[in-house]
Structure 1
Amino acid sequence: MSHILKIIGRRATVTHDANLAVWRLGQHGRGAASTATATEQTVQDRAVRQFDEIPGPKGLPFIGTALDYSPLGRFPIHTKMANSTIERYKTYGKIYREKIGPQEMVFVCDPKDIETVFRSDGRHPERPIPQAIATYRRLRKKPLGVALLNGEEWFRVRSSVNKDMMRPKAVGAYAGLQDEVSRELIGLIRGVVRKGETAGQVPDFTKLLYKWGLDSLSLVVLGKRIGCLTLDQLPEDSDAQQMIGAVNDFFLGFAKLQMSLPLYKYMSTPGWKNFERAMDTISSVAEKMIGEKLGELRQMEEPPEEADFLTNLLSREDMTLDEATLMAVDLLNGAIDSTAHTLVFNLFCLAKNPDAQQKLYEEIMEVVPPGQPIDDTVLNKMHYLRAVVKETFRIYPTVLNTARTLTRDVVLSGYHVPAKTNVLLAQNVISTLPEYYPEPKSYIPERWLRTGSSTVQSFSLLPFGYGPRMCVGRRFAEQELYLGLVRIIQNFHVGWDGEDMKQVWRIFNAPDRDTFIFRERET
Structure 2
Amino acid sequence: MSRILQIVGRRAAFTQAGLQNVPVWRPLGGRNGRGAASSAAATEQTTVQDGAARPFDEIPGPRGLPFIGTALDYSPFGRFPIHTKMANSTIERYQTYGKIYREKIGLRDMVFVCDPKDIETVFRSDGRLPERPIPESIATYRRLKNKPLGVALLNGEEWFRLRRSVNKDMMRPKAVGAYATMQDEVSRELVGLIQGVVRKGKTAGQVPDFTKLLYKWGLESLSLVVLGKRLGCLTLDQLPEDSDAQRMIGAVNDFFYSFAKLQMSFPLFRYIRTPGWTTFERAMDTVSSITEKMIGERLEKLRQMEEPPDEADFLTSLLSREDMNLDEAIQMSVDLLQGAIDTTAHTLVFNLYCLAKNPDAQQKLYEEILEVVPPEQPIDDRVLNKMHYLRAVVKETFRMYPTLLSTARTLTRDVVLSGYHVPAKTNVMLAQNVISTLPEYYPEPESYIPERWLRTESSNVQSFSLLPFGYGPRMCIGRRFAEQELYLGLVRIIQNFHVGWDGEDMKQVWRIFNAPDRDTFVFSERKS
Q: TM-score, normalised by structure 1?
A: 0.96
Aligned pairs for 1:136-151 (under 5 A) are: 136-151=141-156
**Corresponding residue to 1:95 among 90, 96, 100:** 100
Contact 2:452 2:459 in 1 (8 A): yes
Contact 1:128 1:403 in 2 (8 A): yes
Aligned pairs for 1:345-384 (under 5 A) are: 345-384=350-389
Letter paired with 1:158: R
Provide the residue aligned with 1:35 in structure 2.
43
Aligned pairs for 1:384-463 (under 5 A) are: 384-463=389-468
What SS is found at the alignment partner of 2:341? helix
Letter paired with 1:14: R
Q: CA deviation at 1:300?
A: 1.0
The yes-or-no answer on 1:121 pairing with 2:121 is no
Provide the residue aligned with 1:228 in structure 2.
233
Identical columns (%)? 83
Q: Distance in 2 between matches of 1:253 and 1:18?
A: 35
Q: CA deviation at 1:12?
A: 2.6
Provide the residue aligned with 2:37 in structure 1.
20
Q: Distance in 1 between matches of 2:49 and 2:167?
A: 38
What SS is found at the alignment partner of 2:207? coil
1:51-84 CA distance string (max 9 Å, x none) = 0000000110000000000000000000000000
Q: How many residues align?
A: 511
Contact 2:2 2:308 in 1 (8 A): no
Q: CA deviation at 1:163?
A: 0.5
Q: CA deviation at 1:43?
A: 2.1
Q: CA deviation at 1:4?
A: 3.1
Letter paired with 1:11: L
Q: CA deviation at 1:17?
A: 4.2
Provide the residue aligned with 1:332 in structure 2.
337
Report which stretch shifted further, 296-305 or 452-461.
Answer: 296-305
Provide the residue aligned with 2:204 in structure 1.
199
1:173-227 CA distance string (max 9 Å, x none) = 0000100000000000000000000000000000000000000000100011111
Contact 2:142 2:149 in 1 (8 A): yes
Q: CA deviation at 1:2?
A: 5.8
Contact 2:110 2:428 in 1 (8 A): yes
Q: Distance in 1 between matches of 2:340 and 2:218?
A: 5
Q: Distance in 2 between matches of 1:354 and 1:175?
A: 28
Q: Distance in 1 between matches of 2:34 and 2:280?
A: 36
Q: CA deviation at 1:370?
A: 1.0
Provide the residue aligned with 1:6 in structure 2.
6
Letter paired with 2:130: P
Provide the residue aligned with 2:517 in structure 1.
512
In structure 2, the CA distance between the partners of 1:490 and 1:188, relative to structure 1 (3 Å rule), is same
Provide the residue aligned with 1:214 in structure 2.
219
Letter paired with 1:179: D
Moved over 4 A (4+): none
In structure 2, the CA distance between the partners of 1:265 and 1:451, relative to structure 1 (3 Å rule), is same
In structure 2, the CA distance between the partners of 1:18 and 1:257, relative to structure 1 (3 Å rule), is closer
The yes-or-no answer on 1:503 pairing with 2:508 is yes
Provide the residue aligned with 2:14 in structure 1.
none
Contact 1:3 1:301 in 2 (8 A): no
Provide the residue aligned with 1:26 in structure 2.
none
Q: Distance in 2 between matches of 1:16 and 1:187?
A: 47
Give the gaps of 5 or more residues in structure 1.
Answer: 24-31
1:421-480 CA distance string (max 9 Å, x none) = 000000000000000000000000000000011110000000000000000000000000
Q: CA deviation at 1:46?
A: 3.2
Provide the residue aligned with 2:16 in structure 1.
none
Q: CA deviation at 1:20?
A: 2.3
Q: Distance in 2 between matches of 1:345 and 1:270?
A: 32
Contact 2:412 2:425 in 1 (8 A): yes
Contact 1:4 1:300 in 2 (8 A): no
Letter paired with 2:94: Y
Letter paired with 2:28: R
Q: CA deviation at 1:21?
A: 4.3
Q: Distance in 1 between matches of 2:507 and 2:2?
A: 54
Q: Distance in 2 between matches of 1:151 and 1:445?
A: 38
Q: Distance in 1 between matches of 2:44 and 2:363?
A: 43
Q: CA deviation at 1:15?
A: 4.3
Aligned pairs for 1:41-60 (under 5 A) are: 42-44=47-49, 46-60=51-65
Letter paired with 2:253: N
What SS is found at the alignment partner of 1:345? helix
The yes-or-no answer on 1:170 pairing with 2:175 is yes
In structure 2, the CA distance between the partners of 1:145 and 1:19, relative to structure 1 (3 Å rule), is closer
1:100-130 CA distance string (max 9 Å, x none) = 0000000000000000000000000000000
1:338-370 CA distance string (max 9 Å, x none) = 000000000000000000000000000000011
Aligned pairs for 1:248-263 (under 5 A) are: 248-263=253-268
Q: Distance in 1 between matches of 2:524 and 2:337?
A: 31
Contact 2:356 2:362 in 1 (8 A): yes
What SS is found at the alignment partner of 1:105? strand
Letter paired with 1:496: W
